[in-house]
Structure 1
Amino acid sequence: MEASDQAEPKPVKKVQKSGGLAETTRFLLFLFLFAIILRSFIVAPFMIPSGSMLPRMMIGDYLFVAKWPYGFSRYSIPFGLASFDGRILANEPERGDIVIFQYPGRRDEDYVKRLIGLPGDTVQVRGGQIVLNGEAVPRVRIADYLMPLTANSPCRYVEPEAERPAVMADGRTYCAYRRYRETLPSGRSYQVLDQYSGSGDDTPVFVVPEGHYFMMGDNRDDSLDSRFSQDAGGVGFLPADHLVGRALITFFSTDGSAAWLKPWTWLTAARWDRIGETY
């Protein structure tokens, strides 16, 4: 018999499909763990909800917070996943740092303030000027801060006597605040607002306890900070364990005029000049 001219067909290999529910679940779990590690030990997002840090930070600023500079505590870990006491790899913050921290009272909220006093420091405010370890911190009056009046940033004056007329320029309305430049003993300099002679402008002498810090907002008359006790709604002395991280960079900022269902308004509402600001 003659051999057949047609070759026998080769068997087709079946490709086993991978994936499915199990693989999707593994991927989502990996993504979740990566996000937890990123937010716990590297950077985390934070939105500025109030004007207590004007003029440096505005309502609607979104920034990344560096988690590594001060070490880690249970307040550094999101979603309440950690319960240990103390800090791991703890490092001392510096005067003048803009710090994000867990409010030390009953409210489960993150705050942002500037660190003014280290453990052992004496801090007092006299006539609106900080006296640090017995030495007055230089404060120089500079031009008024003109804040654009927008949907999320109204002209907020803490008392009627502090109110000042709005400024019109370039077809826009601005809120005017008295502004000063403050310089710490290290030479670190920044701007602060002082609206009027309020209760926070003259304080007793505070002695910062060991393991605690003294925090103040840059908008001095619109900040409940370490000058005020927790019973009065303030921060009091901040325990070191409550440090979360240091302000790093602004990655987005909005004036509040955008509508979620109108994506094109996200571009017009963005404060492009603030994006990329570092601290």
Structure 2
Amino acid sequence: MATKTTAGNSFVETIKTIVYALLIAGVFRTLFFQPFWIPSGSMKQTLLIGDFLFVNKMAYGYSYASCPTIRIPRLGVNIDAKTICGFIDGDNTRVLGGEPERGDVVVFRHPVTGIDFIKRLVGMPGDKVQVKGGVLHINGKAVQLTADGTFDEVKEPQGPIGNYPRCINGPVGEGGLCQKERQIETLPGGSSHAILNIRNQSTDHTGIYHVPEGHYFFMGDNRDNSTDSRVDQSLNGVGYVPYENLIGRADRIMFSAAGRSMLFFWDWRSDRYFKAIE
């Protein structure tokens, strides 16, 4: 009888330990750092498909978007952040709010779909943003651009989805060298980073975007392969992103997996361990 009681108590303690561990992990993820895995090439070369990083949530304070959205399609689980933290939603405000800086690489919640995106902040509240001939203009002035050769990669399926990269030197056969034009872009305030260009397309020629107060304008560094604020939300783009939808700042890559899964450690990129994000 004592053995059954002991076994029962052991089972209960195990369940308690698991629950406490999940609660601690949930609080840690909500308040401090959120893991994020890069699924697409929209931020090349700054971020590559398969990069794994932690998002600093303390950088901008907290809103409903700071709570995790839990989606497990196979199990039918779809718990939105607003379901968990909807009580602090509204008025486009944050608790212990901090202002992002132009040039930050930011993870934010899409204003319509609720999906997490990662892009570079280029337009601040009140800015006038336009792209003319592939060159970003802010408040009527072109940003500084410096030619920086090419970004080279192998033409092969990338990541779990297996998409092929687009090339400026196409057509390129599988296993061939795929190139993109690379430039160093310097934003007002002095933040510099590499951007990539592939070809002339509609998003290289836009009207003037007037960024509303309390909102931000984002673009991907891989300019011709990014769904961002240049495309309106009604057309499946990002549009202007409210302050409360910011999740956090991406500061450093922890590790990077070049294969179909981040669990395939033999495909990890050793040169990207703890790499700072610029």
Q: TM-score, normalised by structure 2?
A: 0.84
Shift of the alpha carbon at 1:212? 0.3
After superposition, give the CA deviation of every residue in 1:182-205 in whole Å (9 maximum; x if it has no partner): 001211110001111111111111
Which of 118, 137, 149 in structure 1 is aligned with 2:143?
137
**5+ residue gaps in structure 1?**
1-15, 261-265
Aligned to 2:121: 115
- Alignment of 1:101 onto 2:104: no
Aligned to 2:170: 164
Matched position secondary structure for 1:130? strand
Cα separation, partners in 2 of 1:155 and 1:175, compared to 1, 3 Å: farther
Which amino acid is the alignment partner of residue 204 of structure 2? D
CA distance in 2, matches of 1:27, 1:146: 48
Aligned to 1:12: none
Q: TM-score, normalised by structure 1?
A: 0.84
Matches within 5 A, 1:1-279: 20-79=10-69, 80=81, 81-83=84-86, 84-85=88-89, 86-105=93-112, 107-152=113-158, 155-157=164-166, 162=168, 164=170, 166=172, 173-257=176-260, 266-279=264-277
Contact 1:151 1:256 in 2 (8 A): no
After superposition, give the CA deviation of every residue in 1:58-103 in whole Å (9 maximum; x if it has no partner): 1111111111101111111114321122311111100000000111
User: Which structure: larger Rg?
Assistant: 1
CA distance in 2, matches of 1:55, 1:148: 14
Shift of the alpha carbon at 1:23? 2.0
Cα separation, partners in 2 of 1:122 and 1:258, compared to 1, 3 Å: closer
After superposition, give the CA deviation of every residue in 1:185-229 in whole Å (9 maximum; x if it has no partner): 211110001111111111111111011000000111111111110
Shift of the alpha carbon at 1:155? 4.1
Matched position secondary structure for 1:78? coil
Aligned to 1:263: none
Which amino acid is the alignment partner of residue 248 of structure 2? G
Shift of the alpha carbon at 1:257? 5.0
Which amino acid is the alignment partner of residue 271 of structure 1? R
Matched position secondary structure for 2:231? coil
CA distance in 1, matches of 2:109, 2:18: 29
Across the aligned residues of Structure 1 and Structure 2, the Cα RMSD in angstroms comes to 2.3
CA distance in 2, matches of 1:96, 1:167: 35
Cα separation, partners in 2 of 1:259 and 1:192, compared to 1, 3 Å: closer
Matched position secondary structure for 1:156? coil
Which amino acid is the alignment partner of residue 115 of structure 1? L
Question: Which runs of 4 or more aligned residues in structure 1 lie more than 4 Å from their structure 2 counterparts after TM superposition?
Answer: 16-19, 165-168, 257-260
CA distance in 1, matches of 2:111, 2:12: 42
Identity of aligned residues (%): 39
Contact 2:105 2:250 in 1 (8 A): yes
Cα separation, partners in 2 of 1:259 and 1:92, compared to 1, 3 Å: closer
Count residues with an aligned counterpart. 252
Matched position secondary structure for 2:21? helix
